Amino acid sequence: MSELMHVSGLTFRHSDQKRWLKKPEVFALGPIELTVKRGETIAIIGENRAGKSLLAKLLVGAIPADEGEIFLSNVMYNAAKKKSTKSYNSSNDIRMIFQHSSEAMNPGIPVGRILDEPLKLNTELSESERKTLIEDILVKVGLLRDHYYFYRHMLSDGQQQRVAIARAMVLQPKILVADEPFAALDPSVRSQTVNLILKLQKELGLSFIFISHNLGIVRHIADRIIVMDGGQIVETGKTETIFRWPQHEMTKKLILAYQSLVPQQTLATSE
Amino acid sequence: MPMLDIKNLTLEIDNGSTRVKALDKVNLTVNSGEIRALVGESGSGKSLMVQAISGALPPQWKVTADRMSWHGKNMLSMTAKERRELMRRDIGVVFQDSITSMDPSMTLGQQLEEAIPDELVNGKWFWQRSLDRRKTAINTVHKVGIKNHKHYLNAYPHQVPTDIGQKFMIAMALISQPKLLIADDPTRGMETTTKTKVLKLFTRLNQTKSLSILFVSHDLLAIASMSHTMTVLYCGQTVESGKMKHIRKRPLHPYTKALIDSAPSFRADLPPKSVLPSLDGTIPSLQHVPIGCRLGPRCPRAQRACVSTPGVRRIHDHTYSCHFPLHMEKL
């Protein structure tokens, strides 16, 4: 497995001064050090307000960081905002699936155009080439070619999630970042989505970084886990290691809370 | 005798020309001192069930039931006043959308204090009584796991994060010391640590105060850890109902099995990254419900007989409605 992304010293500060004399509430993220290998699945877990969503947004560049560097396949991908550089470099190698995938889609345009927009903005392809590409990707995520003409409200939850994945995949990224991709989904649709992501990973060698509260799924699909607390990465490690021998207080808390829910006797009697 | 007993509840909604059965002959009983889980995916009618019990349905929707009784009293023939009295004192409801179901023009503290019934307040004079209300409110808020009570009691609903809103909703339901708590997806979107705390609180209340709980959710992990009995709902039909441990060990209905399989935590032997078993397709919308068994088009075991609605069958206290149940050869 080769190294695909290397993050070093990524920091972000947010201070929120509401009143003149009041002490400002400062939220600082990082410095974050992180490497992502090809085909690897990384899960980010932690409590609310630990900075998980923020980290995901910083990684894809949706929010510019204050300091730090991100190397994406050995090309520097400018995450930090610097006054000297006029625009920061964009990259097609990393894409994001947002938290509420259905609300992150424009209800006024059909699925085809939703998927067309990133292609129009980022590639030089002609219209017919774009259309074949979109149809291919629709089939790949388990939809039909006809869904090109569907609007958001005509699709079910699971299908909307598939469109969200298709939109992230259409530029053929190497890394997919997802913020709570499974939280809003029903159990049967959730299993379908998990299966889809596993399939796509196997076929295309994608790296997948996701945030989840559902530790059952984390345990099932993640290779490596990052535990965050108060804007810091407090522990990283292989999934089994984290689940069996948690070191940090926060990790212990999360894992114990999860394990207290898992019924012990099912482990023995499951068929 | 069961506390809440519902038999063949049907809810019909007029949508212009046709009449849709949003709930189709649903059976549900809650015994006293029991935690009953009501499981189903979104669109299965769980929340409609909660609203039907609490009487919060729009008047143009038609509710019919063979039996819907609270401690032997018929709930459908009650006057509005009696019904409200019942909801006020005996049943506490945690609604799904916590922030939007609260009054936006009052602080959380005011709303919580308003929810305390008069007979639970000590003190003779109004200042003593208002102090006592405040004290009860703070105690309850601490009980549901909110530490910074000063800040949150004076906040308005739009100012608090969703998980605090959810906890306030739980506090508001518990403060009148009800006999039955109906919790509609109370742990949705909570992180694991908070969820465990809330579930522990429920379990403790169930054990110490013998509070009955109707726990509506699709989080199987939470359900399995605390509930005694479980009713599975699919698309407005009761699919299976029985003791938690029997259902988990040997689900008879294909849908229940699919639901249990969808939680990887239940299966330690499942190799990591393997394909999870799942049913094809999604829940049909209310306009296009299939005839007969509503699982029909998605069911791997469906046969010709499935176009007629299966009746309720019973093995001891385990009821199910399926023509071709699983695991029958073992019985």
- Which residue does chain B place closest to A99, by CA atoms? B189
B193 and A157 within 8 Å at the Cβ level: the answer is: no
pLDDT value for A269: 39
**Is the CB of B261 inside 8 Å of chain A's CB atoms?**
yes
Measured distance CA(B91)–CA(B145) in Å, rounded: 22
The verdict on B249 and B303 lying in the same domain is yes
The verdict on B224 and B260 lying in the same domain is yes
A257 and B277 within 8 Å at the Cβ level: the answer is: no
The verdict on B73 and B28 lying in the same domain is yes
Q: How many domains does chain A have?
A: 2
Residue A268 lies in a domain: no
User: Domain boundary residue among A138, A172, A206?
Assistant: A172
ipTM for the whole complex:
0.76
In the DSSP assignment, the letter for residue A23 is P
The verdict on A8 and A77 lying in the same domain is yes
Candidates A135, A156, A159; CA nearest to A146 is: A135
Identify all chain B residues contacting A266, using CB atoms and an 8 Å cutoff: 224, 248, 266-268
C-alpha pair distances (Å), A260 with each of B8, B99, B186, B195, B221: 36, 29, 18, 11, 10
Structural domain that includes position B70: 4-90+180-195+211-267+275-330
The verdict on B116 and B73 lying in the same domain is no
The verdict on A99 and A73 lying in the same domain is no
Residue in B224, B258, B275 nearest the CB of A263: B224
Each residue's pLDDT tens digit, A142-165: 888 888 898 888 887 778 888 888
Residue A217 lies in a domain: yes
Least confident range from A66-70, A72-76, A127-131: namely A72-76
Q: Which long-range contacts (CB under 8 A, 24 or more apart) does B59-66 make?
A: B60/B14, B61/B11, B61/B12, B61/B13, B61/B14, B61/B22, B62/B11, B62/B12, B62/B13, B62/B14, B63/B9, B63/B10, B63/B11, B64/B9, B64/B10, B64/B12, B65/B6, B65/B7, B65/B8, B65/B9, B65/B10, B66/B7, B66/B8
Give the distance from residue B265's alpha carbon to the nearest chain A alpha carbon, in angstroms. Answer: 5
Residue in B41, B189, B265 nearest the CB of A216: B265
Place of tokens 């938690």: B244
Peptide bond into A31 cis (omega under 30): yes
Taking the CB of residue B268, how many other CB atoms lie within 10 A of it? 13
CATH of the domain at A218: 3.40.50.300
Residue B160 lies in a domain: yes
Question: How many beta-carbon contacts under 8 Å exist across A and B?
Answer: 114
**pTM (2 decimals)?**
0.81
Taking the CB of residue B57, how many other CB atoms lie within 10 A of it? 16
Percent of chain B with pLDDT over 90: 9
Give the distance from residue A90's alpha carbon to the nearest chain B alpha carbon, in angstroms. Answer: 32
Q: How many domains does chain B have?
A: 2
Least confident range from A157-171, A221-235, A256-270: namely A256-270
Each residue's pLDDT tens digit, B59-94: 888 888 888 888 888 888 888 888 888 888 889 999
Residue B292 lies in a domain: yes
User: Domain boundary residue among A172, A206, A236?
Assistant: A172
Structural domain that includes position A101: 94-172
Each residue's pLDDT tens digit, A226-250: 998 888 888 899 988 888 888 888 8
A261 and B267 within 8 Å at the Cβ level: the answer is: no
Residue B104 lies in a domain: yes
A188 and B269 within 8 Å at the Cβ level: the answer is: no
The verdict on B227 and B298 lying in the same domain is yes
Give the tokens for residue B328. 């029958």
The verdict on B156 and B36 lying in the same domain is no
Residue in A157, A187, A266 nearest the CB of B262: A187
User: Domain boundary residue among A172, A189, A206?
Assistant: A172
CA B283 to centroid of chain Cα atoms: 19
Residue A227 lies in a domain: yes
The verdict on B170 and B21 lying in the same domain is no
B42 and A266 within 8 Å at the Cβ level: the answer is: no
Residue A45 lies in a domain: yes
Residue A112 lies in a domain: yes
Residue A179 lies in a domain: no
- Which residue does chain B place closest to A158, by CA atoms? B282
Candidates B45, B71, B303, B29; CA nearest to B179 is: B71
- Residue length, chain B? 331
Identify all chain A residues contacting B282, using CB atoms and an 8 Å cutoff: 156-159, 186, 188-189
The verdict on A205 and A76 lying in the same domain is yes
Measured distance CA(B192)–CA(A243) in Å, rounded: 14
CA B258 to centroid of chain Cα atoms: 20
Residue B9 lies in a domain: yes
Each residue's pLDDT tens digit, B149-187: 888 889 898 888 888 888 889 999 989 889 999 998 888
The verdict on B185 and B320 lying in the same domain is yes
**Is the CB of B287 inside 8 Å of chain A's CB atoms?**
no
C-alpha pair distances (Å), B42 with each of A71, A156, B97, B127: 42, 11, 14, 47
